[in-house]
Structure 1
Amino acid sequence: MLGQETKTYRAVCNLVSAGLGLVLLASPWMLAETSSPAALWSTVFGGALVMRLGSSAALRFRKWKARTQIAIGFWLAGVPWLFHFEGLSQLTRIHNLVGLAVAALAVAELWISRTALSRTGSVPVRGCRGSCIFRNGGEPAC
């Protein structure tokens, strides 16, 4: 099984990501920049999505959630130029910082899980009760 330490590190990465989503969601009102509807909707939906994925992945890790966080992070970093609100410099910086931080945390989370599996020599497969880990000897550890 993966160690408790590995699960804790992944949960911390995801909770920090969820917190960054909350910061992004609240940033238009914290910075008093609600003049652009595109910027407002982008921060609200992007922040809510990052919060949802971060909190969900903290409860139950799935690789697709981490990969989705990477994609959303890069999307958030590029959104100011796509929706033409790069003139709002503070919101552009928040989008860039939060987006790149979310992507970096998701990459770190995938790296943590990959190195933990390579250390134990275990391969996760579907088995007994949902998911099972077979050690190198072939016996299930579920």
Structure 2
Amino acid sequence: MFQRNRKTEAFVDFINLALGGFLILSPWLLGFKSQLGWHTSWMAGAAIGVVAIFSIADLFDTVSIPAFFESEEWINLTIGSWLAICPWVLNFNDDTMAMQVHLVVGIVVAAIGAVELWVIHHRPA
């Protein structure tokens, strides 16, 4: 069976938690002009943070959620991909700061999710 490395998993989950927190605070810290940028940032940041908290809780066996650790990566890959393209889909690309934050955080979250999925499925026997 797949054995998780607690240190690596916890480190990645805390990075995701920090990114979610940054995304929630970024409209105030960086002065977004677009209302859609504000709302998307809050919703995506909260979703990333909640997924990270559940993953951290599952990792340390305080909550038992079977096979959540792989689902978490798919969720993060989806949210990250959405964040990266949402400035153009929702048409708030005229707010440069919101666009840049969404693009960078989205790419980082999606990349972390993709790498973790690759590691899960390509681990040597």
TM-score tier (shorter):
0.7 to 0.9
1:87-127 deviation digits (Å, cap 9, x = unpaired): 111111110110110111112222333344x3xx3xxxxxx
8 A contact 1:24–1:44 mirrored in 2: yes
Does structure 1 residue 71 correspond to structure 2 residue 78?
Answer: yes
- The answer for the alignment partner of 2:26 in structure 1 is 27
Instruction: Report the TM-score, using the length of structure 2 for normalisation.
Output: 0.82
1:36-65 deviation digits (Å, cap 9, x = unpaired): 221111111111111111221223252111
How many residues were matched structurally? 116
8 A contact 2:55–2:72 mirrored in 1: yes
- The answer for the alignment partner of 2:47 in structure 1 is 49
Cα distance in structure 2, aligned partners of 1:29 and 1:87 = 18
Identity of aligned residues (%): 26
Does structure 1 residue 8 correspond to structure 2 residue 15?
Answer: no
Q: Give the counterpart letter for 1:14 in structure 2.
A: D
In our comparison, the structure showing a higher alpha carbon Rg is 1
- The CA RMSD over aligned residues, in Å, is 1.8
8 A contact 1:76–1:95 mirrored in 2: yes
- The answer for the alignment partner of 1:98 in structure 2 is 105
**4+ aligned runs moved over 4 Å, structure 1:** 1-4
Q: Any stretches of 5+ residues in structure 2 without a counterpart?
A: 59-67
- Normalized per residue, the structure richer in strand is 1
Cα distance in structure 2, aligned partners of 1:113 and 1:59 = 19
